[in-house]
Structure 1
Amino acid sequence: MTDAAWRRIEPLLPAQPARGGRWADHRTVLNGILWKLATGAPWRDLPERYGNWKTVYERYRRWAADGTFDRVLTHVQVHDDSVGRIDWTVSVDSTIVRAHQHAAGARKKGNRAGRTRHRGAVRRSGGPGAG
């Protein structure tokens, strides 16, 4: 994390508790969280330079639960939008993907495509022009 990014984010992070033992540095822990999220590696594979993986994981869980990450994201979005750094262009794709009838898991009502009912029996239709 750059020094400029850290200066913007640091005031938004929770204060370190007054009681208890030694508290791991927020910046080191945040860098560990960013490394984990960027790589997708398991928490236990976190490099030692970020501290104990369990500490980094617990801080991640705590900040996710108490809304810290939401506050940081909102702050950064509002600030960057006000100075024109965010492009809010949205692209909508109208692609249609049809699923097989069994993909939904429920039976269709009525006749199945390609079949006709004849006096209680199901007979395959030959399609157009079949005679």
Structure 2
Amino acid sequence: MAELHPQLQKDCLLLGQFELCKLLLMNDANYPWFILVPDRQGITEIYQLTEQEQQQLMRESSIMARLLVREFHAEKVNIAALGNIVPQLHLHHIGRYHADPAWPAPVWGVCVAQAYDDEALQVLIDKTLEALRGQSGFIAAG
């Protein structure tokens, strides 16, 4: 089991575990923003995963992209693996809208992260976990 990078621990909440990846929620209410982190020690790039793990990452990424469109009505889904600050391999999945504060630019550096209030956070977590219920290999954190 790979330990999460301290920056991910600081910025995110652990929602659960897919077959390959931990599922995190970025604590930024400006956007519905999820992060998949392959549970493999020392991996910084996708090519370092086995071919089977790469395919599993794509399956889990597709689940999250569909969730953003279906449950959060995202007009566009931004998926990115930057790793410039956090070298641990992680894939951002961000629901984007024409009216969001950064549109059409990338979200990084545009506005200050707005932490969820307790009620909004719980609603978002419940909605996400309900949508993932029954997804093969997903186990909610608890």
Same fold, TM-score > 0.5, yes or no: no
Which has the higher Rg, Structure 1 or Structure 2? Answer: 1
TM-score normalised according to structure 1 size: 0.27
Instruction: Name the structure where strand makes up a greater proportion of residues.
Output: 2
Higher-helix-fraction structure: 1
TM-score using structure 2 length: 0.26
Higher relative contact order (CA 8 A, sep 6+): 2
